[in-house]
Chains A and B, each alone.
Chain A
Amino acid sequence: MKKKREDQIEITTGEYVNLHYTCAQPGSRVFAVVIDWIVSWFMFYGVLELETFRGIPYPVRDYIIVTLLVLVTMFHFMCEYFFNGKSIGKMLMKIKVISEECTPPDFLQCFLRFILFFPADFFVGIIFMAKKNQRLGDLASGCYVVYDNSFKDTRIDLDRDFPYAEDGYTVQYPFAESFTKEEVISIQKVIYNSRYKSLKPEMCKRIKRRFPKEKFWGSEDMWLKQLVMDYHYLKKE
């Protein structure tokens, strides 16, 4: 059985199929928060600087300032609630908040995250507290911050990534059939997983050594991908 990665959360659907999400790294979360702060304070000062606003008489002006202050404070909370767990900062950093059921957070969960948001909690909590990068607000509300689907490492396109399933596909490296399953898995890791990217030159060297008579076209990345596609196309049951 495959071991679940520590930075992944898993949900079992009613059909007993597991869906996986990757927890957002502290760096992405900190940047998202900083962006949100900048946006909300720009909004606040922007309105205060309006010429028409300056002409408003004393008591009404106070009402507006207090209302604005409340809105600025609540901005992050409202964004997360109305944009399905994404604030502006989170959208830019391609992360989002999800509940334990992997659905966007509901009103109470957003509110709990908002109430329990203190800079100290955020910066200290995110680093030291929980194994899934949960801060106090996340733990209390039962939420996680995860990478969005469209994050580059997980974005897969049917046409781009699986051309070998098209009619008229031509095999470039027929010797790919001789690879074992484990070898292809290793090649895939080197291509798609950033953790193993440093092993790419060594892997290419070994493949070339194994097939000295063959010619490889294009960049290392290109021919490695082509090898994997040819393997999938040629392999038997």
Chain B
Amino acid sequence: MREVDFIKENKEKWREYDEVASNRNASVESYTNAYHDLLADLAYANTKYPDSRIRIYLSNVAKKLHEKIYTPDKFSWATIKRLFAYEVPYLVVKHRKEYIITSVTFILFVILGVILQLQDINAFREIVGNHYVDETIRNIEAGEPCAVYGSSGEFETFFGVTFNNLMVCLRMYASGLFPFVGPLRFISVNGIMLGEFQTFFFQYDAGFESMTSIWIHGSLEIPSILIEATAAIILSYSIVFPGSYSRWESIKRGGVESMKVLLTALPVIVIAGFMEGYIARRSHDPLAVRLLIIFTLFSAWLYYYVYMPFQIYKKNKETEEFLKK
């Protein structure tokens, strides 16, 4: 068929398809029908008239329809629900080895911090500096070991702490670019600091009271550190062990996956910042209330990061076994 005849024959149809492609309210069915028919014409034009401008026209309309059909869903509650109810716990299941390695390493460094502080009472002073330690000792003597949380405004603390934790989060993630050494350094510093910090309070007979204030935000802050470290480890892993992928492809995949894991830490960091800014300072609240808050936050974390992933793991395994049978 001559190009002129081809255009003549199909011109009206293409015009209609162009209108469908520009119409935001057209049905998915009409998009799909137009798309398939147009692709057939484009394939014909590509073969018969490779240097004709009609190819560009058909390709432009096909691209418009392609985008209409394959555009991902925009914001919807169902997407958000799916993200938090399935995708995040699934990521935990998928990277459970990294989570376990990070958690165990962190606990070991916490124990090391406790031992170091027990051996030398000034060990904590070397990490956080004299000013903070002296102020805390004065607060303990005054009977308010965690008065440091009330020393500045609520919003100021919330914003400052959240911003600081976000920066730590990004630094921790970036440390993954130095395979395993970078994340290990962060885990060790934070683990030893936590161990020394808590032991320091016990050495001054304010252990339990300090725990009821510190762990109001610590119950979320510490898990968020573990999540960040896990993301960094995933990134490191993709750099060192590319498997059957090229190293660059492996880094790309590891980057996306680790970023997804890191994203799950963001809400935890913001809530921890809120707790530190607004709740941790309320040391005069009844002990039962403070314990209840800590218990609730810990339970929520355990439910979301241990119980739910375990349920998904169990379900997946059952499905696999069923399919094998």
CB distance from B166 to the nearest CB of A (A): 11
Convert B260-279 into 0s and 1s, putting 1 for each residue whose CB lies closer than 8 angstroms to a CB of A: 10010000000000000000
Whether B53 lies near A156 (C-beta < 8 A) is yes
Whether A103 lies near B259 (C-beta < 8 A) is no
Chain B binding site: helix, strand, loop or mixed by DSSP? helix
From 21 to 79 in chain A, residues with beta carbon under 8 angstroms from any chain B beta carbon are 21, 59, 62-63, 66
Given A81-B74, A103-B71: A19 and B53 within 8 A (CB)?
no
Given A103-B72, A154-B60: A15 and B2 within 8 A (CB)?
no
Does B56 have its Cβ within 8 Å of any Cβ on chain A?
yes
From 1 to 47 in chain B, residues with beta carbon under 8 angstroms from any chain A beta carbon are 1-4, 7-8, 11, 14-15, 18, 36, 39-40, 42-43, 46
Residues of B within 8 A of A104 (CB): 67, 71-72
Whether A165 lies near B7 (C-beta < 8 A) is yes
Given A62-B155, A103-B70, A103-B72: A21 and B63 within 8 A (CB)?
yes
Does A139 have its Cβ within 8 Å of any Cβ on chain B?
yes
Residues of B within 8 A of A120 (CB): none
Whether A13 lies near B4 (C-beta < 8 A) is no
State in angstroms the CA–CA spacing of A161 and B53 once bound together.
8
Does A123 have its Cβ within 8 Å of any Cβ on chain B?
no
Task: Using CB atoms, name the residue of chain A closest to B12.
Answer: A158
Does A141 have its Cβ within 8 Å of any Cβ on chain B?
yes
CB distance from B68 to the nearest CB of A (A): 10
Partner of B252, one of A62, A140, A185: A140
Whether A19 lies near B63 (C-beta < 8 A) is yes
From 160 to 181 in chain A, residues with beta carbon under 8 angstroms from any chain B beta carbon are 161-162, 164-165, 181
Convert B58-75 into 0s and 1s, putting 1 for each residue whose CB lies closer than 8 angstroms to a CB of A: 011011101100111011
State in angstroms the CA–CA spacing of A98 and B67 once bound together.
9
Convert A6-21 into 0s and 1s, putting 1 for each residue whose CB lies closer than 8 angstroms to a CB of B: 0000010101111111
Whether B8 lies near A165 (C-beta < 8 A) is yes
Does B287 have its Cβ within 8 Å of any Cβ on chain A?
no
Whether B72 lies near A156 (C-beta < 8 A) is no
Does A223 have its Cβ within 8 Å of any Cβ on chain B?
no
CB distance from B31 to the nearest CB of A (A): 13
CB distance from A17 to the nearest CB of B (A): 5
Convert A97-125 into 0s and 1s, putting 1 for each residue whose CB lies closer than 8 angstroms to a CB of B: 01001111011100110010000000000
Residues of B within 8 A of A188 (CB): 51, 53
Whether A154 lies near B56 (C-beta < 8 A) is yes
Residues of A within 8 A of B46 (CB): 17-18
Instruction: Place the interface of chain A in its size category.
Output: 35 or more
Whether B256 lies near A141 (C-beta < 8 A) is yes
Residues of B within 8 A of A158 (CB): 7, 11, 14-15, 18, 57
Whether A103 lies near B57 (C-beta < 8 A) is no
Residues of B within 8 A of A233 (CB): 4
Whether B43 lies near A15 (C-beta < 8 A) is yes
Whether B62 lies near A17 (C-beta < 8 A) is yes
CB distance from A115 to the nearest CB of B (A): 7
Whether A103 lies near B11 (C-beta < 8 A) is no
CB distance from A20 to the nearest CB of B (A): 6
CB distance from B17 to the nearest CB of A (A): 11
Residues of A within 8 A of B39 (CB): 13, 15, 17
State in angstroms the CA–CA spacing of A10 and B42 once bound together.
15
Task: Using CB atoms, name the residue of chain B closest to A16.
Answer: B43
Residues of A within 8 A of B64 (CB): 149
Does A2 have its Cβ within 8 Å of any Cβ on chain B?
yes
Residues of B within 8 A of A15 (CB): 36, 39-40, 43
Could you list 13 examples of A-B contacts with CB < 8 Å? A2-B50, A19-B66, A62-B155, A81-B75, A101-B70, A108-B259, A112-B259, A115-B259, A158-B14, A158-B18, A161-B57, A232-B3, A233-B4
**What 3 A-B pairs come out closest when comparing CB atoms?**
A165-B7, A103-B70, A156-B57
